[in-house]
Amino acid sequence: MDVTRRVPEHVAIIMDGNGRWAKMRGYPRTMGHRKGVEAVREAVRVAGDLGISYLTLFAFSSENWTRPETEVNDLMGLLKAFIRRDLAELHRENVRIRIIGARDNMPGDVLPLLLEAEETTKDNSGLTLVIAFNYGSRDEIARAARKLAARVAAGELSVEAITPVAFARELDTFGIPDPDLIIRTSGEERLSNFLLWQAAYAELLFIPDFWPDFSRETFMAALESFARRERRFGGVDPVAAAVSR
Ligand code: IPE
Ligand code: IPE
Ligand code: MG
């Protein structure tokens, strides 16, 4: 099957297994995170090459703050280094960056970098790279509910106007289509608070590889598996599993 002719519009990835990748080799966990950044670069290249419109990467969850301080600091450092080092090239490659997740309670020097990445690339028309950082679905949904409640309390919005479409507009992902395919690496089969609302009809794919081993071939195999699936969206007849090109 030629998967390049049937690619999903939006792929989201739960990049998991950095720590175990390192442990298996007798390295500190941070080595796994470092290798993981290289896998990120490759995934972005493949998504761009194949004409995927949106690639969402789960980089740091709202629950990952509970990790040891040294690991959290390492992860913050890697994110900052990634943006500093790669932003210019991503911009040249016409990639548009969007950040989803809560924008409070993060180290003071991280937010300005994230905002700079969004601002610099906002008019680009190629791949949209969505970085889920300080992201948790329940937090996102609660923030959306608070915004709607405030508008109702202010008399700007009727209770009846709170529909799924109106709700989705208040989520961090507004304007981004729901993911067609969610891939999780490392063999874990759970969503871990990722895109719970948006995943309503996503195809889920759990693969055994640890994230640092995620390669072009792994990505292509995942897309092949997606292209073979039949999606029904609650109906009777299959709906095209992918955007045909
Ligand atoms: C994914 O790898 C990276 C982040 C969650 C930030 P992990 O660090 O969760 O690696 P494992 O799951 O412990 O192997
Ligand atoms: C999910 O992985 C978060 C990211 C990939 C950023 P975790 O490693 O945090 O998830 P759990 O704790 O195994 O569910
Ligand atoms: Mg993990």
64 catalytic? Reply is yes
Cβ atoms of 12 and 179 closer than 8 Å: yes
Q: How far is the CA of 15 from the centre of ligand 2 (A)?
A: 8
How far is the C-alpha of 4 from the C-alpha of 244, rounded, in Å? 9
How far is the C-alpha of 151 from the C-alpha of 153, rounded, in Å? 5
Q: How far is the CA of 205 from the centre of ligand 3 (A)?
A: 16
Query: Does residue 20's CB lie within 6 angstroms of at least one atom of ligand 1?
Result: yes
Position 37, amino acid: V
Query: Would you write out the chain's pLDDT as a tens digit for each of its 245 residues?
Result: 676 668 999 999 999 999 999 999 999 999 999 999 999 999 999 999 999 999 999 999 999 999 999 999 999 999 999 999 999 999 999 999 999 999 998 899 999 999 999 999 999 999 999 999 999 999 999 999 999 999 999 999 999 999 999 999 999 999 999 999 999 999 999 999 999 999 999 999 999 999 999 999 999 999 999 999 999 999 998 886 555 44
Residue-level pLDDT at 241 = 57
- Hey, CA dihedral for 100, 85, 19, 224, is it positive or negative? positive
Longest dimension (CA), the chain: 60
Ligand closest to CA 22 = 1
Residue-level pLDDT at 106 = 87
Torsion angle of the four alpha carbons 229, 233, 234, 239, in this order, in degrees rounded to the nearest 10 = -60
How far is the C-alpha of 93 from the C-alpha of 216, rounded, in Å? 18
Residue-level pLDDT at 105 = 87
How far is the C-alpha of 46 from the C-alpha of 68, rounded, in Å? 33
Residue stretches of the annotated binding site for substrate? 17-21, 29, 33, 61-63, 65, 67, 184, 190-192
Please name which of 209, 245, 239, 241 lies closest in space to residue 224, comparing C-alpha atoms.
Answer: 241
Residue-level pLDDT at 6 = 82
Which domains are present in the chain?
Answer: 3-136+177-228 (3.40.1180.10)
Find residue 184's DSSP bridge partners: 14, 206
How far is the C-alpha of 99 from the C-alpha of 76, rounded, in Å? 15
Residue-level pLDDT at 5 = 64
Q: How far is the CA of 159 from the centre of ligand 1 (A)?
A: 41
- Which residues does 38 contact at the CB level (< 8 Å), separation at least 6? 212
Residue 22 CA, closest ligand 1 atom number? 14
Please name which of 55, 93, 47, 18 lies closest in space to residue 220, comparing C-alpha atoms.
Answer: 47
Task: Provide the residues around ligand 3 (an ion) whose CB is within 5 A.
Answer: 16
Neighbours of 244 (CB within 10 A): 8
**Nearest residue (CA) to ligand 2, atom 11:** 192
